[in-house]
């Protein structure tokens, strides 16, 4: 693994008596696309703000590119788009682009930034405050790119965007990832994290409750079942031995002893086993010779499972 571009060591953030980020440690490697996922109030934005040097950790250490986040050299290498879309009133889009470029030692060419806004040429001479909410976001995205940053931070970047603009946005993020940029974004949407990120860090109540590839995270929250009958029909052949009959009698005990089972239901003559890993459980069933038939493997609706998880995780007010 390449050296981390961001490192948080035992970081906590407290507002008054409330610990909103609680002793988290993590490392983000160069070129990764990381989604910080979690319900409202989980501490996602606070954590991102500490990475940006916009909020100071109450305790612990935050380093970006080996330095404090608010170091000038670090600031020149990061691009940021926060939730609150603010544009500079009174200036045209072109004037804002020119001003923001001037902050950086090696900015992107103005034409390139204009193109990144996705705005028609006529709108580039408009005052930014006259743009729509979605257009302001697109402008902010382009401005985040102005310094040709190594690391990009997006706080809930697609809120308020229509589906077409949203699609364009993620396409650009994919391109940036291919160029080797490190991208960190917060979101409430598992499907966004799943489609775009190569790593998901799941937050709840100021702590990291899961951290892994989208596949790992999804496996942890998707409801999967293997169901089957344990009919005696397969033992009505002529050559039924006493041992086989005994195994029928014992079948329930054998099922109860299976590893990787999170729950067992019995419904309409079928066993329904809940598991995180249907492949492994199926292998156990077969290897142990448990006499089952009409096996069905089902994966519950991921969205439903995630919605339930988010609901159960919501901050108690």
Structure tokens at 274: 């809940």
CB atoms closer than 10 angstroms to residue 2: 9
Minimum distance, C-beta of residue 45 to ligand ATP, in the bound complex (Å):
3
Minimum distance, C-beta of residue 38 to ligand ATP, in the bound complex (Å):
5
C-alpha span between 203 and 193 (Å, rounded):
13
Minimum distance, C-beta of residue 46 to ligand ATP, in the bound complex (Å):
3
Nearer Cβ to ligand ATP (18/267): 18
C-alpha span between 20 and 253 (Å, rounded):
46
Cβ atoms of 8 and 60 closer than 8 Å: yes
Query: Which residues have C-beta within 8 Å of that of residue 114, sequence separation ≥ 6?
Result: 93, 94, 97, 121, 124, 142
Nearer Cβ to ligand ATP (38/214): 38
Query: Which residues have C-beta within 8 Å of that of residue 163, sequence separation ≥ 6?
Result: none
Minimum distance, C-beta of residue 47 to ligand ATP, in the bound complex (Å):
7
The CA-to-CA distance between both ends of the chain, in Å, stands at 40
Nearer Cβ to ligand ATP (51/292): 51
Nearer Cβ to ligand ATP (49/77): 49
Nearer Cβ to ligand ATP (28/93): 28
C-alpha span between 306 and 5 (Å, rounded):
30
Minimum distance, C-beta of residue 209 to ligand ATP, in the bound complex (Å):
12
Nearer Cβ to ligand ATP (25/40): 40
C-alpha span between 262 and 264 (Å, rounded):
7
Nearer Cβ to ligand ATP (15/266): 15
Minimum distance, C-beta of residue 217 to ligand ATP, in the bound complex (Å):
17
Minimum distance, C-beta of residue 70 to ligand ATP, in the bound complex (Å):
17
CB atoms closer than 10 angstroms to residue 250: 13
Burial of residue 46, with CB atoms counted within 10 A of its CB: 0-12 exposed, 13-18 middle, 19 or more buried: buried
Nearer Cβ to ligand ATP (83/229): 83
Angle at 146 between CA 144 and CA 149, to 5 degrees: 70
- Alpha helix ranges (H) inside the chain: 44-52, 72-75, 93-101, 110-117, 133-144, 163-178, 190-196, 214-221, 242-249, 251-257, 278-287, 302-313
Minimum distance, C-beta of residue 196 to ligand ATP, in the bound complex (Å):
17
Residues that bind ligand ATP (CB under 6 A): 15, 20, 38, 40-46
């Amino acid at each position: 693994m390449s050296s981390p571009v961001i490192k948080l060591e035992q970081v906590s953030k407290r507002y008054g008596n409330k610990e909103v980020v609680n002793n988290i440690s993590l490392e983000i490697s160069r070129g990764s696309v990381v989604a910080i996922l979690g319900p409202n109030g989980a501490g996602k934005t606070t954590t991102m703000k500490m990475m940006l040097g916009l909020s100071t950790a109450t305790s612990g250490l935050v380093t970006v590119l080996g330095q404090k986040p608010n170091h000038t050299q670090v600031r020149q290498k990061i691009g940021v788009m926060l939730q609150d879309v603010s544009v500079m009133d009174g200036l045209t889009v072109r004037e804002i682009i020119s001003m923001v470029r001037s902050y950086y030692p090696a900015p992107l060419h103005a034409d390139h930034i204009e193109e990144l806004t996705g705005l028609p040429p006529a709108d580039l001479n408009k005052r930014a405050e006259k743009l729509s909410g979605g257009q302001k976001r697109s402008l902010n995205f382009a401005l985040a790119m102005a310094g040709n940053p190594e690391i990009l931070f997006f706080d809930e970047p697609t809120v308020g965007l229509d589906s077409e603009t949203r699609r364009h946005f993620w396409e650009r993020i994919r391109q940036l990832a291919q160029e080797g940029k490190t991208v960190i974004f917060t979101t409430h949407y598992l499907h966004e994290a799943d489609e775009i990120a190569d790593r998901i860090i799941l937050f709840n109540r100021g702590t990291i409750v899961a951290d892994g590839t989208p596949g790992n995270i999804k496996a942890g929250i998707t409801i999967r079942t293997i169901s089957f009958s344990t009919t005696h029909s397969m033992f009505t052949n002529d050559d039924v031995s006493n041992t086989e009959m005994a195994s029928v009698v014992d079948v329930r005990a054998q099922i109860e002893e299976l590893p990787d089972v999170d729950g067992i239901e019995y419904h309409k003559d079928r066993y329904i086993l809940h598991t995180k890993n249907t492949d492994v459980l199926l292998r156990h069933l077969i290897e142990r010779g448990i006499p089952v038939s009409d096996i069905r493997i089902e994966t519950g609706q991921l969205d439903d499972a995630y919605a339930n998880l988010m609901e159960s995780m919501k901050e108690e007010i």
